[in-house]
Amino acid sequence: MSDPISQELFARASKVIPGGVNSPVRAFRAVGGEPIFVKEAHGPVLVGADGTEYIDYVGSWGPMILGHAQPDVVSAIQRAAEKGSSYGAPTESEIVMAERIRDAVPSMEMSRLVSSGTEATMGAIRVARGFTGRDLIVKCIGGYHGGADYLLVKGGSGLATLGEPDSAGVPAAIAGTTLVVPYNDAYALEKIFTERGKEIAAVIFEPVAGNMGCIPPDPVWLAALRTQTQNHGALLICDEVMTGFRVAWGGAQSLYDIRPDMTCLGKIIGGGLPVGAYGGKREIMQKVAPVGPVYQAGTLSGNPLAVAAGLETIEQLLRPGVYEDLERKGDQVQALLEQHAGAAGVPITVQRVGSMLTAFFRGKPVRNWDEASDTDREAFARWHAALLEHGVYWPCSPFEAAFISLSHDADAFEKTGRAFKAAFAAV
């Protein structure tokens, strides 16, 4: 239950903002109740409107890998702001960002900065269509790649089917340019390429699914993605908006030895400010205007504040032992979940890749959307409410990944353990 001040703010917001929130995932509808309004955050802690502190495992849905208000990042933003908040002209820092991205993610020989993950996926797909001269794209059932019309589709239960709109306002003709397959299903992918391969411009996929919960990829699935796209002249787009610089320095593609044609980044490369990037092989990116025929533009692309925050964040992640530390912290949270769920007799399956994880309220592993949706949503809602009561802010959906930051420390984990114990007892 949210605090009285948050309730008052939510009632006020609902009069002027649809649903009282500026993104549906913040609305708490999946767990009941009303959202906590935040007034500030520092390190691993969110401070609610009434002053209550919560150990945060949302991290602005991924980008706060260093923790909130990390001093060096704050200083970088302040220095940049003193020189101007936006120019609408190129800067050297944009070049440095593109070089850092290329060095960390070698598949991104060239990249274009944008202002959000949605813009990044839209740009990548437009380039893929322009490069191949084809119209169709393939995505996974349960995979989220932003709010573009042709990405808001739902898949149904077939092995492979034409997409249907998953949102009002999306023309069926546009949704029909998207084909969907189950995540981790190499057979379904092969089948759809056999049937429509000459029409498919690209497959876009999350190397670690994050919007149906944290689901690692099967090696056979990854091999099929590369084989099928290469054999049929389609591009492979790796959506690392969530996993880029999160699960490893070079992203999930470095962990799993994925060789994509294009990659989308976001979140961490902005250090908490709005940002995105798409890029890939030079021959593909040379299709982008002004040197090529594929038009894409943005007034705030490469915003100096966002780039400054992102560059400082990336610099911090270069320190020795950072990802080993994140792995240890991720392992500690997973152990706490499993320990207290087991003690309370609550069946869960924790799936984790580095510092992102999900506790599925079912006793079996999860490989795709159908299995993810077979979770005890009512138990999760009770657990989530109890966590809030005991000072832990967890994603308000059973189908979202939680994130751990470098700022989570022994005190944060001690409080988290106590909250887990109480919350599983309340299930």
Is the distance from CB of 371 to CB of 364 less than 8 angstroms? yes
Q: List pLDDT tens digits, range 22-40.
A: 988 888 888 888 999 999 9
The CA distance from 294 to 223, in Å, is 29
Using alpha carbons only, give the angle 101, 135, 281 rounded to the nearest 5 degrees: 25
Domain 4-69+321-426 has CATH 3.90.1150.10: yes
Told to judge if 183 belongs to the known catalytic residues of this protein, a careful annotator would answer no
Using alpha carbons only, give the angle 20, 23, 27 rounded to the nearest 5 degrees: 55
Task: Choose the catalytic residue: 139, 185, 267, 415.
Answer: 267
CATH architecture assignment, domain 71-317: 3-Layer(aba) Sandwich (3.40)
Told to judge if 239 belongs to the known catalytic residues of this protein, a careful annotator would answer yes
Task: Choose the catalytic residue: 56, 185, 239, 261.
Answer: 239
Told to judge if 325 belongs to the known catalytic residues of this protein, a careful annotator would answer no
The pLDDT score that the predictor gives to residue 33 is 85
Q: List pLDDT tens digits, range 55-71.
A: 999 999 999 999 999 99
The b/e string for 274-295 (b: 16+ C-beta within 10 A; e otherwise) is bbbbbbbbeebbebbeeeeebe
Query: Which helix H or strand E contains 173, and what residues bound it?
Result: helix 172-175
Task: Choose the catalytic residue: 54, 144, 150, 393.
Answer: 144
The CA distance from 285 to 272, in Å, is 26
The pLDDT score that the predictor gives to residue 354 is 98
pTM beyond 0.75, yes or no: yes
The pLDDT score that the predictor gives to residue 363 is 94
Residue type, 350: V
Q: List pLDDT tens digits, range 288-322.
A: 999 999 999 999 999 999 999 999 999 999 999 99
pLDDT below 50 — which residues of the chain?
155-162
Q: Where are the domains of the chain?
A: 4-69+321-426, 71-317
C-beta neighbour count of 227 within 10 angstroms: 15
Is the distance from CB of 312 to CB of 72 less than 8 angstroms? yes
The pLDDT score that the predictor gives to residue 152 is 78
